[in-house]
Chains A and B, each alone.
Chain A
Amino acid sequence: MYGKKVKLRIIFLSIIFLILLLTVFFVLKSLEENVVYFKSPTDVKEITEISEKKIRVGGMVKKGSVVLSSDKINFIITDFKNEINVVYSGAVPNLFAEEKGVVAEGILRDRNFLKAKKILAKHDENYMPPEVKKALEEK
């Protein structure tokens, strides 16, 4: 139905598209370290060298681990395989709670201890009215 030129243009575009896709794929793959917003406690355990560089660690706030004192807050971030202790002085976001997602940004003291400069609360994909949440909990 279409001429030879149209077919040639389709092939030309497909090749360009494929090259672009592969380029983007490999660029993103090699930049994976930087594309991820935070590391999990398991990733932190695998770090070979502890530097003074700022890192972000994310996971769940472990149940019963939040300890508030006058000028700082201690808690544990867990990914249900490994854990990391976090200390932070300052105000935490409203959504910060036990068994909720959190991202802590700061400097690693050792593989089990992070001195946080900033705490971000992570929101999950669940949206529901309070009554529904209550009903779910009672189940």
Chain B
Amino acid sequence: MFGLIDNSKIFSITSKAPKYVFFVFVIVLSIGLLEALVLSPEDYIQSHSVRIMYVHVPSAWISIGIFFLIGILSIGSVIFKNKIFSIIAKSLAPSGLVFNIIALVTGSIWGKPTWGTWWAWDSRITSMLILCLFYILYILSWRIIDDKNKLNKITSLIGILGLINIPIIKFSVDWWSTLHQPSSVRLLEKTTIHSSMLVPLALMTAAFALFSLLIFLMKYNTELIKIKNKGLDRL
């Protein structure tokens, strides 16, 4: 079913799309940054350090979302024995790792003036660090394993193992007492962020998602070229 997709068609998309995505990304990012750094109001208690949240929260969302996708794609790869899932997951990983690191670093920078500490071993922060280790493990295993047959299995397994961590990150703040505050933006309950602060948050999330898409398209394009050069007409 998935083998029928024409690689040359996909290639023509992945080789041309990045410049358009980049164009939209720059526009959304500029408006987002303008909103986040200038136009949005300061917070009643943390004053200007609230602006760190506009980078921290979208990066955390994107990094968790991308790993969730990697996990699902890994399951698909194992069940259908189709390498295309693994190649997509592999191309998604780098931007996920980058946003994971950004989330950890900005969280630390925000934590010092607000909490009074750079780091706390609470369950939310620790599980995000574990996600980061999973990303590193996942990306490294693509590089260090030479055996083609094992490569697919091992990387997929890491993706599936890491999937267990995703709900732990999400619900850590509800299940246990943590220093990290509970979620402000929820699907079923009222959002506890004022609407004037939601605008930059949404814009920055869109910008980061576009950036991930851009990196993904470029990585995927490279993978397709690699497959082409090896003289394989299909995956």
Contact = CB atoms under 8 A, between A and B. Distances in A.
Contacts of B113: 93-94
Interface string B180-204: 0111100000001110110000000
Contacts of B197: 127-129
Nearest to B79: A9
Interface stretch (B40-48, B88-96, B212-220): B40-48
A13 B160 contact: yes
A124 interface: yes
B123 A103 contact: no
B43 A120 contact: no
A130 interface: yes
Contact of B181 (A13, A38, A103, A125): A125
B116 A127 contact: no
A45 interface: no
Contacts, number: 112
Interface in B154-189: 160-161, 164, 168, 176-179, 181-184
A39 B178 CA distance: 10
Interface of B: 41-46, 50, 53, 75, 78-81, 113-117, 120-123, 160-161, 164, 168, 176-179, 181-184, 192-194, 196-197
Closest 8 CB pairs of A and B: A93-B116, A129-B41, A133-B44, A37-B122, A128-B194, A125-B184, A127-B193, A130-B44
Interface of A: 6, 9-10, 13, 16-17, 20-21, 24, 28, 32, 35-40, 58, 92-96, 100, 103, 118-133
